[in-house]
Structure 1
């Protein structure tokens, strides 16, 4: 998701852009689904079902439900400007029969095919970076997050929870790998990338840059625009209830040790991985010099906020000219901070080379999806084996010229078609004619990307002017030509939403699984289990997972565990949504309806 946003901020962009629209009960609607989560005419309604027994044909040891949101979820307690968290009841399993009938007896017939975990939108952040644009909060309170200084502690707690998972709750099969679907880092810098890779592979992280002994960001700058946890300053966040927590900033920059994932993990790029702030020119020398330098802007005039917001909304400034002008004519307003070369911007070659570094091999695989061959042309898309008879395809949907929307270039779209065909004994061409390929392995196919279909456009990419770009509708059309595509799994929206992509030929239908971020409310990951129902259908179980941090916080506990719990509680108290909806309604929308949370997604095969 774009980290720099308009006065309507990043959440309002999603709520108003066609990515999602508010409806009854603040549910969201995407193509193929009506407001309130109701399916289109002719689709089978979602039906609530109790969580099934883990005793399954082909099932092993089941994970304790306490490790997933089937058992318990964090809930806001009390009232007022700052609300504490408590443990609430879990969310039930909902069977989605939109694309195929959920036939009785399938629980006794099914066999497990695959089990894995999706992380997305971790936004591991260097919150002291000079290139951050917190000053946009003057136009939209929600444009800066009070919890961001704790992104490393929060992500370590998520890794700990993934490591604690035994078997999936519906198959008992242990997760075989983790896929992180982009926005792994926040501001396209090398130090953030090193923190992310250490987080996933294991090791010590010191989430501090600049002065090694002190924090130099907006949270102790003296401006009431930002929450000052260590100071009695009556800032705008304290006025609405955020607490004073002495020692917070010292704790936030202390070293944290990640155990690393105990299972292999793969990486898919997002716009924040490829672009500064998720939407600025990535190779600009002015920005490259500024991010490692000793000057940082904490506030700018409202007229500059408005000018910057305008070009961010339109995407008509791929060279970040307006932003660079703001940096230039506000130079006298900038404050002195400690320069740090570790913040340098990451090139695509840097990004790939870092993943290939043996120091970050962790539990594997080497390169985490990338190989030395990807360095030729700096390609960031690949396929990989998920399990016997199941193939994963990771695609790169980012614009490299500077915009938070997504797309595919023609070369990659053709590669995707060729890769799909290599694993499909039969498919359909663009004119609907059946094509047979008896030499293909005919695997079940799962596609991974950062952007979801509504956020993919045909905007020209100034960094690749010779290539036509392709939007989400074109990707949907391509995937629907292959009857063995089960699901397209993605992030970017920071919202839990599941969309059925129905086709007149039922076997050509598939699911789009869009998962919320781990930086904003509700801070979820997904545990996914694929099963064969042996009745012409397969089911994809998608179960939401929270971090290992306790729901209840202790404001005096500034240990790594205490900070991870506070990371969640601050996110649940997100300020200034500026969407025109009550805060609670937006919370419900971002968490999704019951049909977007813990689900069984049934789809025809064959």
Structure 2
């Protein structure tokens, strides 16, 4: 896990910790920074300001987790310097939660290519069978939060920024909607009475928790847990969110397995069939993994899901049928899935054909949210933005900006009512290089992330761009030509890979010509210490976290630096 570095410590000290900046951080000094963070908070309970998952033992061997110290607030002043005593003047304008990359997964599906995980680590995770039940623990955590930790403002909504499903299946979409809307869920497909995936295959390429088997996982120290797979597919209940929620598309929500082009003829045969590939020779695996990383290249689908290799016969299940973009939107519009609202969860009837699935919504008085679609039906993991959507964003920003800058950099003023803006997408500015044509509009040019950043820098009313996709915590300042033209890009880790985070984001007016965006990471409400003898939903969620930390492919740097976690992001108030 990333540690608090000296630079992070210095930033964490903020304006009130100047006296600490001259010393090397010690345990007592860091404690003082944590106390200063606590002094500035109103409702830190249930967040990583209070505590965060930490390993019991360091090193490459399997380790249990425990409750570690909380992470301090880091003050980020790249765009504007903060002014003293702003806490005493602050007014909360908005407070919301971001979920991202939940990857609700049918782990028994024939279209999974777990056998590639030696070359593509995300192809298989030892914890993924517990993902559905564990997402309910994240829902419970958000329901228990008392409001924004720094403003105390009640949470206005939750936005999920894509990759809500994993294989792009109808049953995964149903589970996802029930998790957020509330209801009973049986996270099982195929045979109703037993698990039929790679984790009881007897193959040493995977962790088989029910079996004493010599493999890469047990060599690291993974435990023998008989009965775990039966518990993982058992029926459970999700409380559903207590607050309204909105949805943004990710590549796993828009294309098969988040990687393949949409509308491949006959692909339903593989989804709903009885042949599940669980192993291929190393040369074939290497070639397939390489092909999936090259946008514009050829993807041998028949070899990926069929061909030679080790095949397991599984029970066919029509619920695994892939959904279309239109069906994803229409499921959100179904009154049965309204949950705490709003109707459609951001989508409207105008989006129901699945072609233009971007929209605006009211975050709070004076603040508009813009949900983007950065996916492309051309396939591959990364994204881009179509010119038509780019121009729509430009028009949307211009309509509510009394001051902006044109493409030549000249300042433009107009008599309109101002709105502040927060944008949401799945992809980040650095993962929008896949400009392959989208079959929904083949003649629409695709633009990359740098081009889109340039657009946002023209509008001072843009405060932040919130996204996911990378499975890591990263906060980036995007300065403009003038101080008012800067904005923050806030990227949050997934809930499938460690550290399994969501993020609370608060917008606050400091009443001194600046705004503060507070970003606070939260974990699920599962206990840090997993109990191997307990198979309740909460205990399974604890194990989900522990297994993700110990995954042989785990990248513990995904937690980010201190400056990417709990932050105060200062920027010029464009309307003052």
TM over 0.5: same fold? yes
CA-based RMSD: 2.2
Q: What is aligned with 1:81?
A: 61
Q: What is aligned with 1:524?
A: 501
Distance 1:186 1:203 in 2: 20
Structure 1 residue 302, shift from structure 2 partner: 1.6
Distance 1:200 1:377, change over 3 A: closer
Is 1:419 the counterpart of 2:405? The answer is no
Q: What is aligned with 1:455?
A: 431
- Equivalent position to 1:69, from 48, 69, 73: 48
Is 1:565 the counterpart of 2:533? The answer is no
Q: What is aligned with 1:139?
A: 119
Q: What is aligned with 1:466?
A: 443
Distance 1:226 1:37, change over 3 A: farther
Q: Is the 8 A contact 2:8 2:563 kept in 1?
A: no
Is 1:341 the counterpart of 2:310? The answer is no
Distance 1:544 1:494 in 2: 13
Distance 1:121 1:37 in 2: 29
Distance 2:228 2:373 in 1: 37
SS state at 1:563 partner: helix
Distance 1:422 1:162 in 2: 34
The worse-fitting range, judged by mean Cα deviation, of 473-482 and 421-430 is 421-430
Distance 1:333 1:492 in 2: 31
1:263-412 equivalences under 5 Å are 263-317=243-297, 320=299, 322-330=300-308, 333-376=310-353, 378-412=355-389
Is 1:166 the counterpart of 2:130? The answer is no
- Equivalent position to 1:434, from 411, 424, 428: 411
Distance 1:601 1:155, change over 3 A: same
Distance 1:69 1:176 in 2: 20
Distance 1:290 1:348 in 2: 19
Q: What is aligned with 1:600?
A: 568
Distance 1:121 1:508 in 2: 29
Structure 1 residue 267, shift from structure 2 partner: 0.2
Structure 1 residue 300, shift from structure 2 partner: 1.1
Structure 1 residue 567, shift from structure 2 partner: 0.4
SS state at 1:285 partner: coil
1:438-517 equivalences under 5 Å are 438-439=415-416, 441-457=417-433, 459-461=435-437, 463=439, 464-517=441-494
SS state at 1:393 partner: strand
SS state at 1:600 partner: strand
Distance 2:219 2:124 in 1: 16
Q: Is the 8 A contact 1:479 1:485 kept in 2?
A: yes
Distance 2:119 2:400 in 1: 49
Q: What is aligned with 1:17?
A: none
1:254-281 C-alpha deviation (Å, 9 max, x unpaired): 0121100000000000011111221112
Q: What is aligned with 1:8?
A: none
TM-score between both structures, scaled by the size of structure 1? 0.88
Distance 1:113 1:26 in 2: 30
Distance 2:140 2:91 in 1: 28
Distance 1:52 1:566, change over 3 A: closer
SS state at 1:398 partner: coil
Structure 1 residue 137, shift from structure 2 partner: 2.2
Structure 1 residue 574, shift from structure 2 partner: 1.7
TM-score between both structures, scaled by the size of structure 2? 0.92
Unaligned runs of 5+ in 1: 1-23, 28-34, 40-44, 56-61, 578-585
Structure 1 residue 141, shift from structure 2 partner: 5.6
Structure 1 residue 52, shift from structure 2 partner: 5.4
Distance 1:165 1:223 in 2: 42
Distance 1:594 1:482 in 2: 29
Distance 1:537 1:252 in 2: 48
Q: Is the 8 A contact 1:37 1:595 kept in 2?
A: no
- Equivalent position to 2:233, from 253, 265, 268: 253
Structure 1 residue 605, shift from structure 2 partner: 2.1
Q: What is aligned with 2:14?
A: none
SS state at 1:66 partner: coil
1:13-28 equivalences under 5 Å are none
Q: Is the 8 A contact 1:282 1:345 kept in 2?
A: no
